[in-house]
Structure 1
Amino acid sequence: MTEHSLPNRRILAIDVFRGLTILTMVFVNELAAIKNIPSWMTHMPADANAMTFVDLVFPAFLFIVGMSIPFSTQAKTVKGASSKRLLIDSAFRALGLIVIGLFMVNTIYGYDESKMLISMPLWTLLMYACVLLIWSHYPKHLSSVLVKGCKYLGIIGLIVLAFIYDGPYGGMTPQWWGILGLIGWAFFFSVAVYLFTKQDVIKLIAASLAFVALYFVIEHLSGINGVLDRLVEDNRNHTHATIVLAGVVMSLIFYHAKLIDKKWFNYFAFVVISGALTLLSWWHWPVSKIWATPSWAFMSIFFCALIFGVIYYIVELKAQTDWCKVFEPAANNPLLIYILPYILIAALQLLSIPARPEFMSSGLMGILWSLGFAVMMMFVVTGLNKLGVRLKL
């Protein structure tokens, strides 16, 4: 892999895209509980053959994960990390996301509180406490013994919580991997491909399309046997990887030393091709975020490319950056701001306090509440940052 082929700095345009996406994610997650809102502000059903801006939030995050891979990989390579080491590190990061995603899903589905030793809100709060113990970014002045002790305590805590979990299926089950788990799987697949292709854009595009081909093959395996049926259930991981790899390609188009002179030509070619693939795939597959169909993936890539192009133009070319500070908390701590609302909701449930006033649970007032809630989470994360609370995966 070529060292220093990318800028050795944080990329503001990517940070803004990440922050905007996370802020929108918090907004739409809160909005999901609001009644009487327009259909274009809701997730589309699995068989709707349509998507809204709400259905674009998750793929936008996948796209940004991909955009970050070349920079994080280069930073570790410069410090002497081998490809093997990079792959192992990515496996542990993916495992962390998958574990958190699995636990989060089981706080929503698959439990029977009457069979459990503690209430579900308390179980949920203890679970997030363990997550913070394991994956917090500890200050350097703390002793390694204390840091390791906190991490081991968190690991033991998750094991105990998994042991006391009970429900219709017995224990915890991966009904699905959760948003974080899906990101974890796609991230690991994409890092492996990125390391194998050694920043070759053509090979990366071919690999991205190969995941779509794999989706096509696997979707026809349903009903053959149980093992293959499980593979069919996880088939969406492949189109998620397609989106992540598209983000990788976008970063290389704009920032790789050998491609930067032709970035606008390559960018517009990328947009046109992704738009054409959207239309072509739409003939065969309906657009569905739930089933992660190729048409949904290509449509998401198309819109993510357009959005990033606009952000790049404003931030990098026009140097209009004053407004970017608004997104800094979310950009620097995406995992923390993502789980924070769930922690707050569990705490309110434990105290039997409503999550929101009744008059702000419907219509326009509910929309305004959701927007204000998302902004409030940004301020809370800023405060937590000043106290040294950060999550790092």
Structure 2
Amino acid sequence: MSTLTSGRILSIDLFRGLTILVMVFVNELAGIADIPAWMKHVAADADTMTFVDLVFPAFLFIVGMSIPFAVQARVNKGDNSWQVFKHGLVRALGLIIIGFYMVNSIGGYDASSMAISIPLWTFCMYISVLLVWCSLPKAWSNALQLSVRAVGIAGLAVLWWLFEGPNDTGMTYQWWGILGLIGWAYLFALIAYLLVGQRPLLIGLVAIGFIGLFPLFAPYEGQSGLLGWFAQENRNHTHTAMVLAGTLMSLLCFDNRYPKRHLNLGLYIVISGILAYLSCQLWPISKIWATPSWALLSIFFCSLLFALFYQLLEVQKYTAITKVFEPAANNPLLIYILPYIIAAGLGSLGLSLRPEVQSSGVPGMLWSVAFALSMMVLVTLLNRLGVRLKL
């Protein structure tokens, strides 16, 4: 029998919607010149972070907060743990595959050897992704739905074949991309949750254990063999810890066995703050390296943000604000890739998405704000047409 709060959790919706909106904003802002340093990602060895470096961790945190409710929904439908895992595995693989294709569309190709331009290749890739993973009308027959999915899968296969890298290498692993990293972290956190269950203390210990894997494998960076591979993928450990930190937050705030929720929130903030401070004495702060100090600082800031949202929505009942962020909250994957689809479509026609006059300074910053808001409007219109993307 589940002990989790039922129904929509508006504070989580707000956190998710705001996070994905800011993510679209900072992604567009990354192409703007002459902006303040605090609006950019910092260098790997800078030993500091900006709000931009907090966006990805916030999304990982939100992914973790959703895990208990997603598992509960599957169990309520009659799934056992193995079926829940298989469903999660399919979702994770979807994110990993999309991330892999996105990374190769950005770099690692030989444009002079490609049969089609890379913008056109990229646009066709996203169309194939939509065909594979978009929501289809329930009135369609199973055969028709499978046909649409098959066309998308065939499209991805053809694009794999058409891709040309340097020295005829084809598509290669460079890194997993943001979506791929989310996919791996989600998968590891889901496995941990299914093994541990709704036990906050154990979830917290497992999260700290994943943090501890970072310094354990760091000395093997650049080496061959299994230990070298673990070191190469060391970022996944701290990313998984951030997902599990979100899972822990959900249990402390929405598991009815723990009614002292303000106390739980307060303890969470204090303990995460202490751990973040201690970690900063041991490791430099680096998003690129995904160091434990960056992860724990991000968890601390996410806990502060969520505590604010919890107070506003769950306690004070200021729920009207959620309407503003509802499109992004309900369609995070679609609104995330929409800018890439539009840019690739225009690029295949030889056009640019951003006007040159708005590519630097204050005009560029204002453009980035307007662009993010326009993506909210566009995803709302697409939803009304029945276009949704959900793994």
Please give the TM-score of this superposition, normalised by the length of structure 2: 0.98
The answer to whether the 8 A contact 1:329-1:378 is kept is yes
After superposition, residues 142-291 of structure 1 pair within 5 angstroms as 142-168=140-166, 170-259=169-258, 261-291=259-289
Distance 2:116 2:256 in 1: 56
Distance 1:232 1:307 in 2: 32
**Deviations 1:89-128 (CA, angstroms, capped at 9, x unpaired):** 1111100000000000111110011111111011001100
- Secondary structure at 1:156 match in 2: helix
Residue among 74, 80, 83 paired with 1:82 = 80
Higher mean C-alpha displacement, 14-23 vs 220-229: 220-229
After superposition, residues 14-33 of structure 1 pair within 5 angstroms as 14-33=12-31
Higher mean C-alpha displacement, 339-348 vs 229-238: 229-238
**Deviations 1:311-333 (CA, angstroms, capped at 9, x unpaired):** 11111111112122110000000
User: How far apart are 1:227 and its partner, in Å?
Assistant: 4.2
Distance 1:284 1:314 in 2: 36
- The share of aligned pairs that are identical, in percent, is 54
Higher mean C-alpha displacement, 51-60 vs 151-160: 151-160
Give the AA of the match of 1:168. P
User: How far apart are 1:222 and its partner, in Å?
Assistant: 2.5
User: How far apart are 1:11 and its partner, in Å?
Assistant: 0.7
Residue among 57, 61, 70 paired with 1:63 = 61
In the other structure, the counterpart of 1:352 is 350
Give the AA of the match of 1:233. Q
Residue among 98, 103, 114 paired with 1:105 = 103
**Deviations 1:277-314 (CA, angstroms, capped at 9, x unpaired):** 11111112111001100000000000000001101111
Residue among 71, 80, 89 paired with 1:91 = 89
Give the AA of the match of 1:93. R
C-alpha RMSD of the superposition: 1.0
In the other structure, the counterpart of 1:320 is 318
**Deviations 1:241-274 (CA, angstroms, capped at 9, x unpaired):** 0000000000011100101x21111111111111
The answer to whether the 8 A contact 2:222-2:232 is kept is no
Residue-pair matches, total: 390
Distance 1:332 1:298 in 2: 27
Gaps of 5+ in 1: none
Distance 1:369 1:223 in 2: 41
**Deviations 1:20-79 (CA, angstroms, capped at 9, x unpaired):** 000000000000000000000000111111110000000000000000000010011011
Ranges of 4+ aligned residues in structure 1 off by more than 3 Å: none
Please give the TM-score of this superposition, normalised by the length of structure 1: 0.98
**Deviations 1:159-199 (CA, angstroms, capped at 9, x unpaired):** 11111111126111121100000000000000000011111
The answer to whether the 8 A contact 2:65-2:250 is kept is yes
Distance 1:177 1:137 in 2: 25
